[in-house]
Structure 1
C-alpha cells in the first residue's frame, strides 16, 4: 500500500537501491506523490543514517536529520545483495515493480549479476534509472566514468562554482547540495517520462542522468554566453551579467534582493526611491543602458537601501518591483507564506520526545495533493511486510534474518 494514499503516483512500485543524497532525493520526489517506494538497504543500514544532526534527547540514533529529510514516505528492507538469496529476493521484488533506481558506480550492479539487462529480461516494462557522477556507458562512455563524484565535484565541473563567488577570481560552492539535488529532480522527471512510455508500449528502458551533465544543463546561461561572446563567464558577485539592477543590496538589518528584468520595474523603483528623474535619464533608460553604467546604477540603489530596514523596503516596493529579503532559517520558520503553503511539516523522530521539522514537497496538485505522510523508516522496519507480500512465511523470514540475508 502506498504510504501517501491518493497521490498521483499511487500504485507505482519503486525499488530504491540508492544512498547518500542524489538517489534518495529522486525517490523521495516519487514517494511524496504516492509511489510505493521500497528502500533496499545493506544489512547494517544505509551509511547516511549515521549523519547528523541528532536531537539532544535521541539516545538510539536510528538516523539523523540528513536521512530523515530525504527518506520520508518510504519503506525499508535490509538485504544482503552479495548473497545468492539476497539477489533472488531482489529479483522477486523487481519482477512486479515499475521502477528501479540506483546510484552506485558504473558496473557495480552488473558485477553483482543484477544489472539492467538481467532484470529487464524478467520484466521488459521495467524502467531502470541510474544517477552517477559521469553517467553510464550505456548512454555515452565518459573518460571519467570510474571516478567517484559528490555534490561539490558536480558543482565544480558542471560550471556552477565557476560563475559563483564574490569576485571574478574567487569561485565558491553553492550552499545547498545542488550537485545532487538538481540531477535527482531531472532523474525523477526522466523516470516519469519513461514510465509513461512503458505504460503505452510495454517497453521499459534505461534512464541515465550524470551529475556533471545535470549541473551543466542547469548552468545553461554560461553555455550561450560563451558561444555568443567567446568569453568564459566568471563569478559575478551578487549582481547579474545581463540584467541591471538585479541582485543583492545591503540594508539596515541585513540584505534584500531587488530585480528589474523589465524597464517598467526600473521606473517603479526610481519612483519608490524618490528619484523619478532616473526613469528618463539616458544612462538608465533601458536595461542595456543601465548595464553599461552598472556600477553607478547599483550604487544608486545601494544608497537607498542602506538607509532602510527590510520591512521599510518591502512597504515601498511590495507589488511594484520584484523584491525579497535574504532569509535565515529562523526567518523562513516565521514567514506567513511558508505557513500558508504548509512548506514545513512535523514528523515523528524515533528516540526523541518531540517531533522534528522537515521541508515538505513544493509540488502541489488539487486532486492528488501528495505530501509527507510518514517519517523516514528504521532499518528493515518493513521487511516482514514486504517479504510476506512475496509469499514468504514468518518462519522463513525469521530464518533469513538469523542468517543475516535480510534485516
Structure 2
C-alpha cells in the first residue's frame, strides 16, 4: 500500500455541508464534497443510518460500530444525532442550516416539509443556503412527476433509466450493473449542481434549490440509447460485451481471464492491432478498413480477434498491446490491490476503523490537483460522535445541550472533542 500523500485542507475548505441523507446516493454526494475539504456534518436519527448495520465487518471487529459500507461513503465527516420527531429536533437543524452553505437530503417529497425543514422555510432563515435534494423521481418544485411519491433504490433507477435494458448478453435477459450506479450517478450530478449553485451565489448572493432525480440521472448517463432511438427508430437491447457503433470494442477472452480492447473507432488502432496479431493484411483489407465496415461484419471481426487473444494470457496481451491500442485486463478486487497504477495514484487508502487494531482500505476519490497536496482521509464517525462539539460550535450552551438530550432531540457521545441513496422516508 502506498504511503498517503501529504494532506491539505482541500479546495472546498471553508464550506459547511449539512448532510441529512441516508443510504448511498446522498452520502456519496457529500463524501465527494468532504473529500475535497468541505466540513460535512452528517445528521443521523438515534438508530443511525441504515447502512451502519449492513457490514461487511472485518474479522476481529468486536465493536461493530459500522461496517465497510458506512465507512467508505461517510469518511471525512463529523457525526451528530438529531431526532426530528422530538421537540427541539427540527430547531437544531434550523440552527445548523442558518450558517451552512449546502444542505443535502434524499427523502421523498414532503418529508422535510412535515418537519418544518423545507427549502422555503430554511431559505427564509439563510438565503445563501444551497438546498440539494436527491429523490427517486425528482422534486415537484422543478417538475411534477406522476410517480414522484414512489420510493426508489439503485436497482429501480437502473431499471427505469435504461441501464439494465442494454446490459447483459445479447438477446438475453437484462443484467444489473455491479456497482450502485443508480445511486452514485445522481450523487455526482448533485455534487456538480450544488457547487454550480455555490458559484452562482458568489455573483447573486443567493442560494438555490438543486434537484436531481435518480431516474433522470441514469437516463442522462445512458444518453446513447436516446439518440440511437431518435435517429434510427430502433430501441437498443442488451449489448453483451460488444459496442453497437464501434468494432472491435469490448471484452475478449484470454487464456486466463478476459481483457478489454478498443481498436475503434480510430482506424489506425485497428491497423496497429492487426500488425501485433501478425495479420497486417487485415489492416488494409477493404472489408475492414473503416469502423463502419467492421461494425457491419462485427461477428466476423470479433471472432478473428477473440481467437487470437484466447491463445494468450492477460500478461502476454498486456506486453503486446499495452501502450499501442486502448487495452486493459479485467481486474478483480484482489488484483486492484496489486496494481502499480493505483499505488502510484494513491487510489487505495488506509483508514482507521474503530474496534480494530489495524487500518482498513477504502477507494479514494479520483480528483487530483497539480502542484498541491491532496485532502487527507479520516475515518467515518461513530454514531453521534460530534454532537456536542457541533452544537457548541453553533452557539448552544452546555445547559441547552443537556435539555435537548433530556428531551431526546439529540444524542450520541457526550463529548466536546472533534474526531477524526437511495430514497425512503
Q: 2:243 aligns with which of 240, 257, 266?
A: 240
Structure 1, unaligned stretches of length 5 or more? none
State yes or no: 1:39 paired with 2:42. Answer: yes
Larger RCO: Structure 1 or Structure 2 (Cα < 8 Å, ≥ 6 residues apart)?
Answer: 2
State yes or no: 1:116 paired with 2:119. Answer: yes
Q: Give the Cα–Cα distance (whole angstroms) in 1 for the partners of residues 22 and 375 of structure 2.
A: 22
Q: How does 1:280-359 map to 2 (within 5 A)?
A: 280-359=284-363
Match of 1:66 in 2: 69
State yes or no: 1:374 paired with 2:378. Answer: yes
Q: Is the 8 A contact 1:364 1:370 kept in 2?
A: yes
Q: CA offset at residue 279 of structure 1?
A: 0.9
Match of 2:83 in 1: 80
Q: Give the Cα–Cα distance (whole angstroms) in 2 for the partners of residues 168 and 378 of structure 1.
A: 48
Q: Give the Cα–Cα distance (whole angstroms) in 2 for the partners of residues 302 and 156 of structure 1.
A: 31
Structure 2, unaligned stretches of length 5 or more? 1-6, 412-425
Q: CA offset at residue 327 of structure 1?
A: 0.2
Match of 2:181 in 1: 178
Q: CA offset at residue 61 of structure 1?
A: 1.2
Q: Is the 8 A contact 2:86 2:407 kept in 1?
A: no
Scaled by the length of structure 1, what TM-score is found?
0.97
**Dislocated runs of 4+, deviation >3 Å:** 367-372
Q: Give the Cα–Cα distance (whole angstroms) in 2 for the partners of residues 222 and 371 of structure 1.
A: 37
Q: CA offset at residue 316 of structure 1?
A: 0.9
Q: How does 1:7-406 map to 2 (within 5 A)?
A: 7-261=10-264, 262-367=266-371, 369-406=373-410
Q: Give the Cα–Cα distance (whole angstroms) in 2 for the partners of residues 371 and 167 of structure 1.
A: 43
Q: Is the 8 A contact 1:14 1:38 kept in 2?
A: yes
Scaled by the length of structure 2, what TM-score is found?
0.93
SS of the equivalent of 1:135 reads coil
Q: CA offset at residue 368 of structure 1?
A: 5.2
SS of the equivalent of 1:183 reads helix
Q: Is the 8 A contact 1:161 1:172 kept in 2?
A: yes
Q: Is the 8 A contact 2:87 2:409 kept in 1?
A: no
Q: Is the 8 A contact 1:244 1:294 kept in 2?
A: yes
- Residues 304-334 of structure 1 deviation map (CA, whole Å, 9 limit, x = unaligned): 0011011111111121111000000111100
SS of the equivalent of 2:258 reads strand
Computed over aligned residues only, the root mean square deviation of the Cα atoms, in angstroms, reads 1.1
The alignment covers a number of residue pairs equal to 404
Q: CA offset at residue 5 of structure 1?
A: 4.9
